[in-house]
Amino acid sequence: MADALLGLSWQIQLAVASGYAAYLLCYVGIRAKHSTVDVTFLSLIFGLIASASLYIAQQHMNVVAAGATAFFLTCGCGLLWRRFFRSLLRKLLRKWNVSWSDDSPTTLALMLSETHSSLSQISIQLEDGSWLICNDLQSFKKSPFGPCLIGQDGDMAIYLTHTISKDGVEREVKNVKDADYGDRITFVPASKIKMINFRHING
- Given a contact cutoff of 8 angstroms between Cβ atoms, the answer to whether 119 and 135 are in contact is no
pLDDT at 1 (0 to 100): 57
pLDDT confidence of residue 135: 93
Is residue 110 included in any domain, yes or no? no
Show which of 95, 125, 141 is a domain's final residue: 95
- Specify if 31 maps to a domain: yes
Average pLDDT over residues 13-39: 89
What's the one-letter identity of residue 22? A
Question: How far is it, in rounded angstroms, from Cα 126 to Cα 147?
Answer: 20
Residue-wise pLDDT for 177-197, tens only, equals: 988 899 999 999 999 999 999
* Residue 88 burial by Cβ neighbours in a 10 Å radius (0-12, 13-18, 19+): exposed
Q: How far apart are CA 36 and CA 23, in angstroms?
A: 13
Strands 162-164, 170-172: pairing kind: antiparallel
Q: Given this model, what pLDDT does residue 3 score? A: 63
DSSP 84: I
From CA 101, how far away is CA 137, in angstroms rounded?
29
User: pLDDT: is 25 or 202 the higher one?
Assistant: 25
Count of domains forming the chain: 2
Higher pLDDT, 200 or 51: 51
Does pTM surpass 0.75? no
Mean pLDDT for 157-175 is 94
Give the pLDDT mean for 165-177: 93
Could you tell me the residue range of the domain that residue 176 belongs to? 117-202
For residue 112, is it within any domain?
no
Measuring CA to CA, how many Å separate 7 from each of 13, 46, 122, 163? 9, 21, 51, 59
| 74 and 136 housed in the same domain | no
Residue 160 pLDDT more than 90? yes
Three-class DSSP category at 53: helix
pLDDT per position as a tens digit, 54-83: 999 999 999 999 999 999 999 999 999 988
Same domain, 75 and 127: no
147-151 contacts, C-beta under 8 A, 24 or more apart:
147/119, 148/119, 148/122, 149/185, 150/108, 150/112, 151/190
Give CA–CA dist 27/197, Å, rounded: 24
% of the chain beyond a pLDDT of 90: 55
62 strand-pairing partners: none
- Quick check: is 103 in a domain? no
| Per-residue pLDDT tens digits for 113-156 | 665 567 889 999 999 999 999 999 989 988 988 888 888 778 89
Residue 203 has pLDDT above 70, yes or no: no
| pLDDT for position 99 | 75
Q: Who wins on pLDDT, 98 or 172?
A: 172
Same domain, 74 and 146: no
Q: What is the pLDDT of residue 10?
A: 86
122 shares a domain with 44 = no
Q: CATH number of the domain that 157 lies in?
A: 2.30.30
